[in-house]
Structure 1
């Protein structure tokens, strides 16, 4: 049996990978291996490894790499620990191919260890742009350290090929996370309200904001202060916060959110992690996703709701017509929220289509993972684009 080792380090990434994990596990020709690491193993970030196991998956290795610091030094030390730990794990598990998704910093040492061990790497969601984070360069570095590529759309496929990857190793499959929309039975309104411990209001906003890691920590804090002041002006609106990830400055943002919740318990609730089921269920009932999470770009348009994308973190990604980009400006954010309730914008939402697809991506990925010539992947040749 071909051993497929999938690495997951965050709640969001696992949610996107869930259907792919199910399809690999269900295939009699494949053996699924899962390595759980990063924030999955941290109580501070919700100990979300429990969700993986609760969904019926066996986790082969749990590798703790997260330090109690989100400074640049702390993050770099975590990366060093990952390089050592994953080299040992790959030697023990002896997988035939590694599967990773996205652009997280911890993936750099992980795919580096796989390359040194001569284990091919399959990378999902390459070729995308996020100009407001260091993830922009990390994603492209992962592309160059990978031998097989699964992209969300043709534009991203062309970009991966432009970076010298062989066209016959790049597959346009759509966004695998959208498979959840086809397979999950989402919560009813009352089930969702019970799960978050409060009733929805006349207006409801789902808020997720991560650090723009191209900025200093002091700038990141100032930005969130402006955003919170704009949200504070909203009336008869429930604010549902999900916390930031473990990027540089993430803990500071989470402390600021905790302080805001303490002062606004009647209008705001907060969660370390909603989990994929509650998060997607929330998208049925909220009016908008506000912040700078990729979910506002990739998943929210499928529900024909607004996304108010703040700042530069997602600059460069293809957008649906339901996405409104605003600067980190108190008044602009407030006015953008008011605009989503206008008849003009409601007409835009009716005609919104999601450029990232509508699901059924995971079976395409599995088909390639089953049939690709693994020995051939171990040698990389640069592909020169003709200009």
Structure 2
């Protein structure tokens, strides 16, 4: 039996992983070992490890890393704690294959700890760009530490190969989050209103803002500009809370203050997969800088106003309006444009290019059938032909 260690560090990656976790857990020749860290283990972020266990996935290891602060020093210390914690776990219980996703610093720490143990690594969502976030460096670093790659599009596949990975190692599987569109049951509007104490009689804006970590010193004025725009618009708003990034507490504090003084504004710490994929069908537009606006929102024909540089470099579809700078007047204009019938028609009128909702099947095939042998472990740098 092949043991598969899957690293999950927060609600965002867990909701993506979920269809793959279900397939691994159900396979007779695989043993799922779920290694939980980061925001999952923190009460201030909703203790979402409880959601994992409620879904029926046993947690093999809990590896706390986050510090009380969200400064640059605290993030660096958390990375060190992650390397130490994951290394101690691997010394006790080494998986046959380790699965990591995306670009979080906690993921990077887990992969870094696995290197001396010579553990094969499968990395999901490599080749993407977020030039406004330090996550960009972690993602490309994870690519170079990994032995297999499940990417979302052919563009991203070519970029991973450009980073020197041999083509046979890189599989275009599609975006795992789209599998959720087929598998996660949707809650009715009445269920959403009751469970999360919301009023959805008028479709609200869904606002998700994370720090742009390459310019985190600007988090306060950037957040203030967004709040000023929302106040000018006067529309109902539902906020989701930011990740555990540098200066994330600045955004959190301003969200709570805005909701206190605006009766038509609400915040939700964690929707969970069912709640999140249900709320996407109830809102009028998404505003902020979440990757969800580029990955999941297109499947709902949901207009998105993407602000700033955090998602700079990612592929985007016709549902996205980019606002390059955090200027309140520009945000107001973009939201008004997003809510017009003409733009809503445009958002609905394109083909999704992030996959077909069957990524988990392709990834499971990689996990089950790839020989974990010397050929996989001994990487050769793949040079591109001279231009």
- The residue that corresponds to 2:145 in the other structure is 145
Distance in 2 separating the partners of 1:162 and 1:60? 35
The Cα of 1:234 is off from its aligned counterpart by 2.0
**Residues 227 and 328, structure 1, Cα contact 8 Å, conserved in 2:** yes
More deviation in 95-104 or 188-197?
A: 188-197
Task: Give the TM-score normalised by structure 2.
Answer: 0.97
Q: Indicate the residue corresponding to 1:59 in structure 2.
A: 59
2:293 pairs, out of 277, 292, 296, with: 296
| Deviation readout 1:260-309 (Å, 9 max, x if unpaired) | 11111x21111111111111100011011110000011000000010110
Deviation string, structure 1 residues 87-113 (Cα, Å, up to 9, x no partner): 111122220010000000112221111
Q: Does 1:204 align with 2:208?
A: no
Asked if structure 2 preserves the Cα contact closer than 8 Å seen for 1:97 and 1:119, the reply is yes
Contact preservation (8 Å) 1:319, 1:355: no
Q: Report matched runs for 1:32-181 at 5 Å.
A: 32-181=32-181
Which runs of 5 or more structure 1 residues have no equivalent in the other structure? Answer: none
Aligned pairs (5 A) from 1:322-341: 322-326=319-323, 327-341=325-339
Q: CA deviation at 1:22?
A: 0.4
SS at 2:365 equivalent: helix
Contact 2:133 2:213 (8 Å CA) reproduced: yes
8 A contact 2:122–2:147 mirrored in 1: yes
1:149-298 correspondence runs (5 A): 149-217=149-217, 219-235=218-234, 237-264=235-262, 266-298=263-295
Q: Secondary structure at the match of 1:186?
A: coil
Which range moved further: 24-33 or 341-350?
341-350
Q: Which runs of 5+ in 2 are unaligned?
A: none
Select between 102-111 and 149-158 the one with higher mean Cα deviation.
102-111
When the two structures are superposed, what TM-score results if normalisation uses the length of structure 1? 0.97
Please list the CA deviations of residues 348-387 of structure 1 after superposition, one character each: whole Å capped at 9, or x if unmatched. 0230332212311001101111111111221111111112
Whole-angstrom CA distance in 2 between matches of 1:163 and 1:350 = 34
How much has 1:198 moved relative to structure 2? 2.5
Contact 2:319–2:348 under 8 Å retained in 1: no
2:341 pairs, out of 337, 343, 346, with 343
Matched length: 384
CA contact (8 A) 2:203 2:282 kept: no
Match of 1:13? 13
- Name the CA distance, whole Å, in 2 between partners of 1:275 and 1:49: 11
Q: CA RMSD in A?
A: 1.0
CA distance in 1, matches of 2:269, 2:14: 15
Note if contact 1:208-1:290 (Cα within 8 Å) is conserved in structure 2: yes
